[in-house]
Structure 1
Amino acid sequence: MTNFNKIITLSKQLASSLLKEEKPTVLQNSDFFNDIEKKNIHKRLTSESEIKKRLSLKNKIDKKADWEKVKNRIGVEPSVRKLYWKYIAAASVLIIVTLTVFTNKFNDEPQFVESVIVNNQIEPGVEKATLLLESGEIIVLEKGKSFQKQNLTSDGEVLIYNNKSSHKLVYNYLTIPRGGQFQLTLSDGTKVWLNSESQLKYPVSFNDSETRQVELVYGEAYFDVSPSTKHKGTSFKVYHNKQEVEVLGTEFNIKAYKDENNIYTTLVEGKVAINTENESKILKPDEQSNYNTHLNTLQLKEVNVFREVAWKYGAFSFKHKSLKEIMKVLSRWYDMEVIFENQELEDVTFNGVLYRNQPIEEVLLLIKSSSSISAYEINNKTILLK
């Protein structure tokens, strides 16, 4: 487990100590969502006093004190402390407090929403991918299914290539479908986490005398790049469409889905150069570039890094996101279709964090408790919002 994963795990434990009277929380135990108790839960979630109570817990968080507890327990190195202490307490609040309250406004009275479930076939995503070899052979990778072939192995959750150099570049494609995710370790030791509906093209092995290059064909990927000092000084580049990201040893996230005109690159640690047809810019940690492929413009801004990479740690983090944007993200992960019968709902904005392994009914319960949704229907893999 990486230091950051340890931090996130321990942050959950620290923040949960503030909610002793509510263990297990509604979202940590799906048993609370049986047919008998749904109305009580709904009333509780939409109660102004309960929501304000949870939000007031933010004031009880002592960022420095909590960070001291974290670093003392896991022995975080100084360089890591400098990078992550800024948002470790924020992660505590988001993952525990906000997970219990997904809000856009306080309701004066609980509004019970009619729900119709015909045949719910919507499930959270799991580890699954399709590997296309140079020979044309297609291999299905999935959780619980091991695979081994020459210089690569998989336990069903991670695909690992042997660490060796080659003068001939042979490419593989790893494709993640809707409702899937997968982790990949390239032959140089670079680790890549691929989100749902993504595809990566990469060499089976790199030539240590040349730049290491991969292509994010589409989708979203988080890169933890093996430093150039371990590979005779060779840099690492990620291509997508008209954008090139050049790194020397760093962690960053690229989001470039087929149905969007924008490529978002978020720097977690290190330094990267964003190169487009017209300009080049250097990203610093906590910065994000937004390259509009339609307008051919490149802009930089500071962002909350945790919110941008929460998917890698098993969560969705939304701030001032419209329901339309949220449902686009959830549709990829749950492999579902969402139809807005009431189109006014598309522009309603929300703040909140959700677990990626939550049943879709729990997600809808949270959303409807803080919105003007009058009814929803689940039919097979389609959700109708009314």
Structure 2
Amino acid sequence: MDKAQNLEALLEKYLQNRCSPQEAEQLLQWLSSEAYSPQQKALIKKALETTHTDPNERSVQHERQLAKIFENISRKISTAEQTNTKRKRLQILRRFSVAAAALFVLIGGYLLIQNPEWYKKNTPQARLVNDLPPGSNKAVLTLNDGSQVILGDAQNGDLTMQGQAAIVKKNDQLIYNKKQGPASVFYNTVTTPRGGQYQLTLEDGSKVWLNAASSIRFPTTFQGKERKIEISGEAYFEIAKDAARPFKVAFETPAGMKSEVTVLGTHFNIMSYNDEKAAKTTLLEGSVSISSNGNTAILTPAQQASQTDRNGITVASNIDVNEAVAWKNGFFEFHATGLQEVMRQIGRWYDVEISYEGKIPERNFGGKISRQNNAAEVLKILELSQIKFRIEGKKIIVTQ
């Protein structure tokens, strides 16, 4: 039996609560070390789909097990190690807790995505008496003269002319169409609030998706030998090919470094929020060049550049690009992601302040949860990791 088959067998036993303490430890070490590779996700999905043939029965069975797995296997491991020192037992249970937290989020998120009505009806009632709705398509368009258009209130159709560009709103998107008009350069800015997102198509056909608490400043028509725009926050790009005019994206890293990405035609994501530890540029298709503070890096597909300080650009290869662009596709996706990073994403999307009571719990999460759920549904899945939350107005408080 090869490694994949062995892990698949262990995972099925885990979901059926039939693992021995040693098998549970082996599986959870794998979960902790692999950082949620595509192999892991495929095995977990297969195990969930094949344990029962009927989808509803499968969901019922696994949902009943979820509440018991942590307690039961924790007790088995604790019992097996009772002859060792207290410190040794705590180390083992802590490793188990971190890995199991991630697996529970993955399973809970999977069930909520696959069968949301059943999940909401049959899971235990959340202790969260308050709730927060998810973010939506909303943004503010600032025109060249400083006047503003609240896009959530604007009707579909022609909005205005800006220089040589006609601005059209269509199905919660902005589209810039080149027309006849003054040749002077006009600049527009689109800004999303916390709890907002928006999509626009630039005059050259390039498409841009803005995540929450982000902005883009751009000329309404591109003139000259380059196409240059500025962003803050997070944006995903699908750039129209134009060999004669490279496309440049300027942004500032959390450490205050001026950076620029240069492309001809490609798909990529830039995340550079001020409250994150690093700016991250992730390439899905094509090639990009990143320059900052005298340093330069060339990315190929499935590579990610990180900029944490003024010491340079770090490039990681063979990453799962789905995590970087999950927000654009309507999901939270975590791969061994720490609690504070998870909560920052939640805070931006639900437009809520995050605070902690006592010591911040050490947890890593893996999994996929729809961003269309209310906050209480997302927090209920995270609570499977033995962390508690409460919502007070526009604040989520993390407790233990």
Identity %: 33
Alpha-carbon shift at residue 351 of structure 1 (Å): 1.2
Specify the alignment match of 1:190 in structure 2: 206
Conserved? CA contact 1:127–1:143, under 8 Å: no
CA positional deviation for 1:260: 3.0
Residue 240 (structure 1) aligned with residue 251 (structure 2)? yes
Kindly report which structure 2 residues correspond to 1:204-283, keeping only aligned pairs within 5 A, or say none: 204-207=220-223, 209-216=224-231, 218-229=232-243, 233-241=244-252, 242-283=258-299
Structure 2 residue 171 is the aligned partner of structure 1 residue 138: no
Q: Closer, same or farther in 2 for the Cα pair 1:331/1:245, shift >3 Å?
A: same
- Counterpart in the other structure of 2:86: none
Match of 1:350 in 2: 365
Structure 2 CA distance for partners of 1:133 and 1:262, relative to 1, 3 Å: same
- What's 2:25 paired with? none
Match 2:353 to one of 337, 340, 351 = 337
Cα distance, 1:17–1:163 mapped onto 2, change above 3 Å: farther
Structure-1 separation of matches of 2:356 and 2:125: 16
Q: CA deviation at 1:138?
A: 0.4
Task: Give the whole-Å Cα distance in 1 for the aligned partners of 2:58 and 2:174.
Answer: 35
Count of matched residue pairs: 302
1:379 Cα deviation (Å)? 1.6
**AA paired with 1:115?**
R
2:131 corresponds to 1:115: no
| Cα deviation 1:27-69 (Å, max 9, x = unaligned) | xxxxx9xxxxxxx9975433329x99xxxxxxxxxxxxxxxxx
Q: Residues 264 and 143 of structure 1: is their aligned pair in 2 closer, same or farther, counting only changes over 3 Å?
A: farther
TM-score, reference length from structure 2: 0.68
- Where in structure 2 are the equivalents of 1:31-46 lying within 5 Å? 43-46=64-67
Alignment of 1:32-181 (within 5 A): 43-48=64-69, 99-100=109-110, 115-117=127-129, 119-120=130-131, 122-142=132-152, 145-148=155-158, 149-150=160-161, 151-163=166-178, 167-181=183-197
Q: Structure 1 length normalisation: TM-score?
A: 0.70
Preserved contact between residue 126 and residue 376 of structure 2 (Cα < 8 Å): no
Say yes or no: does 1:377 pair with 2:390. yes
Structure-1 separation of matches of 2:213 and 2:267: 21
Give the SS at the match of 2:313: strand
Q: 1:300 aligns with which of 308, 315, 323?
A: 315
Match of 1:81 in 2: none
> Do the aligned residues in 2 keep the contact of 1:164 with 1:188 (CA within 8 Å)?
no
User: Contact between 1:143 and 1:157, CA under 8 Å: does it hold in 2?
Assistant: no
* 1:167 Cα deviation from its structure 2 partner: 4.4
Q: Distance in 2 between matches of 1:276 and 1:234?
A: 21
Give the RMSD, CA atoms, in angstroms: 3.4
State the SS of the aligned residue for 1:318: strand
Q: Distance in 2 between matches of 1:143 and 1:214?
A: 26
Contact persistence 2:332–2:368 (CA under 8 A): yes
Instruction: Give the C-alpha shift of residue 266 in structure 1.
Output: 0.3
Give the Å deviation of 1:277: 1.8
Match of 2:380 among 356, 359, 365: 365
Offset of residue 96 of structure 1 = 8.8
Determine the structure 2 residue equivalent to 1:289.
Answer: 305
Structure 2 gaps, min length 5: 1-41, 74-102, 113-123, 253-257
Shift of 1:343: 2.2
State the AA in 1 paired with 2:228.
Q
- For 1:279, give the aligned amino acid: N
Residue of structure 2 equivalent to 1:21: 54
Could you list the runs of 5+ residues in structure 1 that have no partner in the other structure? 1-10, 27-31, 33-39, 53-92, 103-111
8 Å CA contact 1:114, 1:376 repeated in 2: no
1:163 deviates by 3.4
Q: Is the 8 A contact 1:160 1:185 kept in 2?
A: yes
Select the structure of larger CA radius of gyration: 2
Tell me the distance in 2 between the aligned counterparts of 1:235 and 1:158: 24
Q: Which amino acid aligns with 2:127?
A: S
Deviation per residue, 1:162-183 (Å, 9 max, x gap): 0359742211000000001100
Task: Label 1:253 to 1:305 Cα distance change in 2 as closer, same or farther (>3 A).
Answer: same
